[in-house]
Amino acid sequence: MKTRNSMLALLASLLSAGVQAQAAVDVTAGGVRVQVGKGASASNVAGDLGQEVDMEGVAVINGNVYIDGQRIPRGKTMHTSGKTGKVYRIQWGRDGNVAVEEK
């Protein structure tokens, strides 16, 4: 009970301090967009990496292979990363199954 009262007191003090923040979340078919305040936003489409994503390593999303943020065309069996110089071997299976290993 004491913890609950403390949490309520903290919430009341934050509300009375005039803290204001607005956030809008838009969930559409296959994607999410979040907008916070003026001009700050982020979004994602299901099954894809945005161009602004700065990643290192391998990601497999819905049968699509991304290495260091670059989408690898289906059927390509070897890839050398322009970012790290690492060489990867890709084995494409059926039904979206993919195996990627660093050589």
**Tell me, what DSSP letter sits at residue 94?**
S
- What is the pLDDT at residue 47? 60
- What is the pLDDT at residue 101? 95
CB burial class (10 A; 0-12, 13-18, 19+) of residue 13?
Answer: exposed
Tokens of 71: 């989408």
Q: pLDDT tens per residue, the chain (103 residues)?
A: 555 566 556 556 555 555 455 556 566 666 656 666 666 656 556 666 666 667 888 988 888 899 988 899 999 999 999 989 999 999 999 888 999 999 9
68-73: list long-range contacts, CB under 8 Å, 24+ apart: none
- What is the pLDDT at residue 94? 87
- What is the pLDDT at residue 62? 82
- Element at 12 (helix H, strand E): helix 2-16
| 84 within 8 A of 93, measured Cβ to Cβ | no
